[in-house]
Structure 1
Amino acid sequence: MSQTVELDEFRFECGESIPELELTYETYGEFDGENAVLVCHALTGSHHVARKGRGEENTSGQARAWWDTVVGPGKPIDTTEYFVVCANVPGSCYGSSGPASEHPETGDPYGTDFPAVTVADWTRAQRRLLDHLGIETLHAVVGGSVGGMNALEWAKRYPDHASRVACVAGAARLDPQCLALDAIARRAITSDPDWQGGDYYDSEEGPRNGLALARQLGHVMYLSKDSMEAKFGRRVAGRDGERDTFPADPAAAFFPYRDVESYLDYQAERFVERFDANSYLYLTRAMDDYDLAAGHASDEAALAAFNGEALCLSYTGDWHFTVEQSETVAEAFRASDSPVAHHVVESDHGHDAFLVEPGKLAAPLRDFLAKGVRGTAVRDTAGNYESESDFAPVHASLFGGG
């Protein structure tokens, strides 16, 4: 069941502060003093990482537990062995302080008066929550997508506080193409007349069209060409399935309404019912701004103080956070003398693979949590570590190898 803690004044990296920080979180399993695992959610995820039982009520506002295939009894992050904590990050809209929260001085939602948030702010807020829970050190921090950036920030900011860090489908920073697409997504929201400068909370609709367009663009980023071809091709959807999320196109009656359009419209309709447009602006800005090397001469220097082991896990079909970007992170860990494995998974599912193909993630993540980089199922692109079974480096050709 979701819980919310009220913490004292929180000062954000931007220099602004709020008098009270609310963090909504869930825990799973029993804490024995040494078995805590922090799970960091992706961009529009929440603290509701897994179900605790059949038929339980979902109080997070999210459609479903986003990593229920990975977290739970007998699963890769086994809650019979580990005490799992997952917190909704500041700036989001699933219970933690964010733009939709009440401004204590006005009684109205903050809107765009809420302070700008960063991934470092998320990490500092999580540290405050763990202090509240009486957890001094973590067995591991695990995060996917921008949650992987969050996990890397733990290795950088609190190098002695986690024994293991797993960055799944993540990167040290976004590339210019993804920055550009995120900028277009934000512009879709802010150019919607119903955005009203962020003060739309008293209106009936809010910037639904703008948020829907932003989400559709995001979905295209999360899929690969191969997965889109297999899932949709150029197939035509029935006219009965046509959505009316956006204003009618006068020419649409002549041209076919395709499966891929139907999918995007359906996803957009679902998303605008559960997510706040201002939060989408804030969270994408935080992701875009993140740079592992910030404040240091290099990624290697940023990770120099980390004393644990690291896993970088990437997917061949992911063009949002690429295999090459994960290798860059792994090289930084290697250069700083941290035991690290970069495990590459063959997949044509794109960025969404870490959510939709849990079977390919299960073994390496389970073994990394249990045994570190020498886990039986953990493979490394550089071939630096001999696992307990026969070892074979993977995908060396991606990096100029044989």
Structure 2
Amino acid sequence: MSRGRVAPGRKVESEVVDLGEFRFESGEAIPNLQVAYEAYGEFTGDNAVVVCHALTGSQHVAGHGSGASVSGQARAWWSDIVGPGKAIDTNEYYVVCVNVPGSCYGSSGPASDSPDGEPWGVDFPPVTVTDWTRAQRLLLDHLGIGRLHAVVGGSVGGMNALDWAVQYPDDVDRLVVVAAAARLDPQCLGLDAVARRAITTDPNWNGGDYYGDDSPDPEGGLGLARQIGHLMYLSKDSMDRKFGRRSAGRGGRGDTYPADPAAAFFPYREVESYLDYQAEKFSERFDANSYLYLTRAMDDFDLSEGYESDSAALAAFEGEALLVSFTGDWHFTTEQSESLAESFRRNDAPVAHHVIESDHGHDAFLVEPEKVGPPLDDFLTAGVAGRAVTDTLADSSEPESEKDFAPVHSSLFSR
């Protein structure tokens, strides 16, 4: 339910807005698109920052308004980056994060009610990243927000941010794309396909019709999909450090995934225990159909679709861009970010590709705020000229002794 236009200076917590009829890229429409958002700080007219959440994240980027039912990555998922005195300083910026259509944290999606009062299920229209971008723009129009100081996104949220530069290039001053790419590579596409099949082959999925008190959820399939995802998000080094080949004992297996008879002889390893725990917690908070919808949207995204190249797609964007990648991330690699940087450079756009040394895999953008925060903070303040912002092009041409790297200021992340 809409609570009306947000007046300048008003502090906002969690709300849900009805945007009316919405036609998706597929051509299908729903009569009432509801979007849940969370906002922080005071809007002064030129200080709005949109943060785009990752695949199974939520609008609760810094935690305000998060109820007990919201847990894991969905609750306060970037609170070390967003907040008073943090890199995205809510004392300075008006920060808005929107739960994307197709998700399950308040915005319209498969688990939300259709006009007949029953959950949409798989009758909900297919969603794309551009549908997310358009819904965000409509919400900002409702809030009375025009041009944005910045759009920031990590993982598929970074794809969402890139799409802003294509769909609304005149509305964004600064763009921050963290651990993302112009498109998924075939390996990631294949792993996502296997994850979806884990859900759709669970008998409890029931063709997507499992809502209601008498219908069991496809927890087993959704849990397996999440386990595949976790393996994609971690690096070999981080897994070796975290688990090694250590045993968690022989009696700790749960009931969700039956073990083969020989399992009693062999150890139940810590890595298995971790994956089973993550599967259980994720199945408690997320909707299986939403997982199908959102991974389809991520897989479908291709920055150059409809254009001759990535640089052609970005040609109308005249703002500044910061790309952040991590050396241990094989999901979205530094090479993919460098390719994006080259696309901006071909358009003579001010861009910096800031590479962070890390062995935490794709999860680094969530778990290493002390490395992500300084360049992000400085970029929002000073653009690519920010002192903590580095660029691969400059790094390759400067002698080592002339490089100027800013120290990490832990005070940026004090609570």
Amino acid at match of 1:294: E
Answering whether residue 117 of structure 2 is matched by residue 107 of structure 1, we say: yes
Structure 2 vs 1, CA of residues 254 and 240 (structure 1 numbering), >3 Å: closer, same or farther? closer
Aligned twin of 2:393: 382
Equivalence for 2:149: 139
Alignment match of 1:62 (pick from 59, 64, 71) = 71
Deviates more, 1:242-251 or 1:344-353: 242-251
Cα distance in 1 for partners of 2:270, 2:258 equals: 19
Counterpart selection for 2:133 from 113, 123, 133: 123
Structure 1 residue 391, shift from structure 2 partner: 3.5
Q: Does 1:168 align with 2:178?
A: yes
Q: Deviations over 1:174-217 (max 9, x none)?
A: 00000000000000000001000000002442111100000000
Which residue number corresponds to residue 42 of structure 2? Answer: 30
**Higher deviation after alignment, 237-246 or 298-307:** 237-246
Matches of 1:182 and 1:225, distance apart in 2: 19
**Cα deviation, residue 249, structure 1:** 2.2
Does structure 1 residue 349 correspond to structure 2 residue 360? yes
Query: Aligned partners of 2:168, 2:318: CA distance in 1, in Å?
Result: 10
User: Aligned equivalents of 2:63 and 2:26: distance in 1?
Assistant: 35
SS at match of 1:251: helix
Deviations 1:110-130 (A, max 9, x none): 110000000000000000000
TM-score under structure 1 normalisation? Answer: 0.94
- Match in the other structure for 1:72: 83
Q: 1:276 to 1:213 in 2, by over 3 A?
A: same
Alignment of 1:188-267 (within 5 A): 188-202=198-212, 203-267=214-278
Does the Cα contact within 8 Å between 2:251 and 2:268 map onto a contact in 1?
no
| Match status 1:45 vs 2:57 | yes
d(CA) in 2 for partners of 1:244 and 1:35? 50
SS at match of 2:97: strand
Kept in 2, the 8 Å contact 1:50–1:72? The answer is yes
Q: 1:247: how far off?
A: 1.9
Conserved 8 A contact 1:299-1:329: yes
What does the per-residue CA deviation read over 1:244-270, in whole Å, with 9 as the maximum and x for residues that have no partner? 221232221011100000000000000
Residue deviations 1:3-36 (CA, integer Å, cap 9, x gap): 0000110000000000011000000000000000
User: Which residue is 2:9 aligned to?
Assistant: none
* Aligned counterparts of 1:247 and 1:240: Cα–Cα separation in 2: 13
Counterparts of 1:112 and 1:390, CA distance in 2: 57
User: Residue 368 of structure 1: SS of its match in structure 2?
Assistant: helix
Does the 8 Å contact 1:308/1:339 carry over to 2? yes
- In the alignment, what sits opposite 2:31? 19
**What is the identity percentage for the equivalent residue pairs of Structure 1 and Structure 2?**
71
Query: Any unmatched runs of 5+ in structure 1?
Result: 394-402
- Asked if the contact 1:49/1:66 (under 8 Å) is kept, the reply is yes
Displacement of 1:142? 0.2
Q: Give the SS at the match of 1:378.
A: coil
Q: What letter is aligned with 1:108?
A: E
What is the deviation of 1:336?
Answer: 1.2
SS of 2:17's equivalent in the other structure is strand
Assess, with a 3 A threshold, how the Cα gap between structure 1 residues 335 and 76 changes in structure 2: closer, same or farther: same
SS in 2 for 1:85: strand
Whether the aligned pair in 2 keeps the contact of 1:45 and 1:62 (CA below 8 Å) is no
CA contact (8 A) 2:60 2:66 kept: no
Range that drifts further, 236-245 or 340-349: 236-245
Counterpart code for 1:329? L
Normalization by structure 2: what TM-score? 0.91
Match of 1:398 in 2: none
Moved over 6 A (4+): none
Q: Report the AA paired with residue 122 of structure 2.
A: T
Query: What do you get for the CA RMSD once the two structures are aligned?
Result: 1.6
User: Which residue matches 2:16?
Assistant: 4
Q: Which amino acid aligns with 1:303?
A: L
Name stretches of at least 5 consecutive residues in structure 2 with no aligned partner: 1-12, 406-415
SS at the partner of 2:293? helix
8 A contact 1:2–1:60 mirrored in 2: no
State whether residues 48 and 60 of structure 1, in contact with CA within 8 Å, keep that contact through their aligned partners in structure 2: no
* Contact preservation (8 Å) 2:250, 2:264: no
Alpha carbons of structure 1 residues 344 and 184: separation in structure 2 relative to 1, 3 Å: same
Cα offsets for 1:360-395 (capped at 9, x unmatched): 101100000000001000000011899xx95469xx
